């Protein structure tokens, strides 16, 4: 795949190792959920490396000083339902004060087009850093729709985190929203005729929630 600006592919061995465990069809729901959370922590650490800091006054046991802190409340974590929910606890472990919004989208099984059924974002949204979570970026339809909703409601500063992405999805999201920084755990080969990522990990929502 060609290198696209604003797309960051993770190369950390821990992330790659954990993605391999997710790919294994023998990995059960319990372990799958735990590993998705761990990957979200590792990817979040990378994706949030440019968070702004401001100095506050702090009193140490030795003396008073000025020292940098982040403003956690200015961050909105927005999972795309259902599968994005599996990544929320990982991001909240990093930024416990973050607000959490939700976008409900499902893909039509035949057309693969996304359909919205829910959208609730923390208000006001325009001043926050918004981190959208979905483990799978396949055709990119759901991601583009999710970012459309956020922008329609005033969101400006948006990052998108996906554990596995297809080149088609990356291209589609980047073409529609070149301003959105995209963090990807691994770029897989292609989509199959059912728009599943190959080799991928199957249906992320079903594997996180134990449905079929
Ligand atoms: C999956 C996945 C993404 C979407 C990706 O959700 O979690 O949201 O598909 O596909 P796309 O890039 O082609 O739009 P799904 O629609 O299966 O819903 P679910 O999470 O409720 O199972
Ligand atoms: N959604 C998934 O959960 N998996 C895929 O491979 C594609 C879309």
Domains of the chain by start residue, with CATH: 7-209 (3.40.50.2020)
For residue 175, give the 3-state DSSP assignment. Answer: helix
User: Of 23, 27, 171, 206, which one is the catalytic site residue?
Assistant: 206
Q: Map residue 179 onto helix, strand or coil.
A: coil
The whole-number pLDDT of residue 72 equals: 80
Torsions phi, psi for 161 (to 5 deg): -115, 125
Look at residue 160 in the predicted model and tell me its pLDDT. Answer: 98
**27 three-state secondary structure:** coil
Q: What is the pLDDT of residues 40-78, one digit of tens each?
A: 999 999 999 999 999 999 999 999 999 999 988 899 999
Can you give the pLDDT at residue 170?
A: 97
The answer to whether the CB of 161 falls within 8 A of the CB of 133 is: yes
Tell me the two tokens of residue 95: 């930024």
Cα of 120 from ligand 2 centre, angstroms: 23
pLDDT digits (tens, 9 = 90+) for 182-202: 999 999 999 999 999 999 999
Q: Which residues contact 169 (CB under 8 A, 6 or more apart)?
A: 137, 138, 139, 140, 143, 162
Tell me what pLDDT residue 22 has.
98
Give the nearest ligand 1 atom to 203 CA.
17
Catalytic residue list contains 50: no
Residue 212: per-residue pLDDT: 84
pLDDT at 2: 58
Dist CA 200 CA 165 (whole Å): 8
Whether 28 has a pLDDT exceeding 90, the answer reads yes
Neighbour-count burial of 41, counting CB atoms closer than 10 A to its CB (0-12 exposed, 13-18 middle, 19+ buried): middle
DSSP letter assigned to residue 115 = E
For residue 174, give both structure tokens: 């980047």
Q: Is the CB of 136 under 6 A from ligand 1?
A: yes
The two three-digit tokens of residue 84, written as one number: 């994005």
Write down the pTM of the prediction.
Answer: 0.96
Position 1 scores a pLDDT of 57
- For ligand 1, atom 18, name the residue with the nearest CA: 106
Q: In this predicted model, what pLDDT tens digit does every residue of 98-154 receive, in sequence order?
A: 999 999 999 898 999 999 999 999 999 999 999 999 999 999 999 999 999 999 999
Rounded to 5 degrees, what are φ and ψ at 59? -110, 115
- Residue 189 CA, ligand 2 centroid: distance in Å: 13
- Locus of tokens 């079903």: 206
pLDDT confidence of residue 73: 81
Cα-based torsion angle of the residue sequence 50, 47, 45, 105 in order, rounded to the nearest 10 degrees: 140
Predicted local confidence at residue 52, as pLDDT: 93
**CA proximity to 107, closest of 42, 196, 7:** 196
């Amino acid at each position: 795949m060609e290198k696209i600006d604003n797309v960051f592919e993770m190369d950390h061995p821990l992330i790659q190792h954990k993605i391999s465990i997710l790919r294994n069809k023998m990995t059960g729901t319990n372990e799958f959920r735990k590993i998705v959370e761990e990957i979200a922590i590792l990817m979040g650490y990378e994706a949030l490396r440019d968070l702004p800091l401001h100095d506050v006054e702090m009193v140490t046991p030795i003396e008073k000083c000025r020292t940098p802190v982040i403003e956690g409340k200015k961050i909105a974590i927005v999972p795309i339902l259902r599968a994005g929910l599996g990544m929320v606890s990982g991001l909240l472990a990093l930024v416990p004060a973050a607000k959490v919004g939700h976008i409900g989208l499902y893909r039509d099984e035949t057309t693969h087009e996304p359909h919205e059924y829910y959208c609730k974002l923390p208000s006001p949204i325009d001043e926050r850093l918004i981190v959208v979570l979905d483990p799978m970026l396949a055709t990119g339809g759901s991601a583009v729709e999710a970012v459309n909703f956020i922008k329609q409601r005033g969101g400006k500063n948006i990052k998108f985190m996906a554990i596995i992405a297809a080149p088609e999805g990356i291209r589609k999201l980047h073409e529609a929203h070149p301003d959105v920084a995209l963090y990807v755990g691994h770029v897989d080969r292609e989509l199959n005729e059912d728009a599943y990522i190959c080799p991928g990990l199957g249906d992320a929502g079903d594997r996180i929630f134990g449905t079929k």
